[in-house]
Amino acid sequence: MNKEGKLIEQYDGNMIRCPRIGGDVNFLFCRTENNMLPCRWIVNCWKGRLDIRTFLEGHYTQKELGQVFTEPKPKVESLVRLVEKAKRD
């Protein structure tokens, strides 16, 4: 429950077509698919359907939101780091 007394589950049954998955998903999926944090595309997908920014700010800390909206490292960079780590180990 957030400070206004609203449950985090309040929109879980709402459905939307997910551009990443290519099919319909519910809001529960969108808010938990990233290691129990929201998908980083949640704002774009849900804007106009609900007050998504207020929802996120009411239910997640700034640290959690920072994790959600930080751009992922390019895959090549991640692979290079993994190879370098494997060589050291």
Instruction: List pLDDT tens digits, range 1-45.
Output: 766 668 999 999 999 999 999 999 999 999 999 999 999 999 999
| Residue 23, H or E segment | strand 23-26
**Which residues form the domain of 38?**
8-88
What pLDDT is recorded for position 4?
Answer: 66
Of 80 and 9, which is predicted with more confidence? 9
Residue 77 lies in a domain: yes
Q: For position 78, what pLDDT does the model report?
A: 79
3 state DSSP class of 62: helix
Residue 2 located in a structural domain: no
Q: Which residue has the tokens 């519910």?
A: 26
- Domain membership flag for residue 1: no
Q: What confidence category does residue 48 fall into, taking pLDDT thresholds of 50, 70 and 90?
A: very high
The values of phi and psi at residue 72, to 5°, are -70, 155
H or E element at residue 81: helix 75-88
Cα(84)–Cα(81) distance, integer angstroms: 5
Q: How many domains, the chain? A: 1
